[in-house]
Amino acid sequence: MGKKIILITGGCRSGKSRFALDYANRHFSKKLYLATCEALDEEMAQRIEHHKKMRSPEWQTIEEPIEIVDKIRRYGDEVEVILLDCITLWLSNLLMRRKDDSEIMKEISALIDMIQEKQTSLILVSNEVGLGIVPADPLSRRFRDLSGMINQRIAEAADMVIFMVSGIPTFLKGKDEKLS
């Protein structure tokens, strides 16, 4: 299989991470899981542990909340696929550390450039947060807007875009014949 860029998006608990793991396990042997979540409270720590238990031992795992471009650059040539879970948590981490949206957009552009540059396949998991009501506060609206922009940019660069609904993949762009 040649290089693939795959975006898997959907709502919370839609099956994105499970689908991404299953896909990577079926198609790749040397795999890296790039986790962006930070355990800032006990409930999140439990979610992280649950995600770790979902992965089999042959997965290499790197936890990095901010510098994902550097991690892709560093480890991208050592593996067949990097599963980045998740873009929206990375964006949330950036929002807490960067005041200016132009700084965040530079990070997003660097990510897009890196995923196109590397010969490693990438599976990127991201939440679709724009299907609900308009958030009441400025930070939430900023997060929603930036999430939509980054998802669009990644979708444009991707070979496949999959929208997960209730554990069912809906192919928006591209189709992998091996899934049929």
- Contact status, residue 38 vs residue 48, Cβ threshold 8 Å: no
| Residues 158 and 121 sit within 8 Å (Cβ to Cβ) | no
- Rounded to 5 degrees, φ, ψ at 178 are -70, -15
Q: Which of 171, 111, 117 is nearest to 146 (CA)?
A: 111
Residue whose C-alpha is closest to residue 123's, from 23, 10, 37, 13: 23
Query: Catalytic residue numbers?
Result: 51
**Residue 174, phi-psi category: left (phi > 0), alpha (psi -120 to 50), beta (remainder):** left
Distance, CA of 120 to CA of 160 (rounded, Å): 15
Cα separation, 176 vs 180, in Å, equals: 7
The CA distance from 16 to 10, in Å, is 7
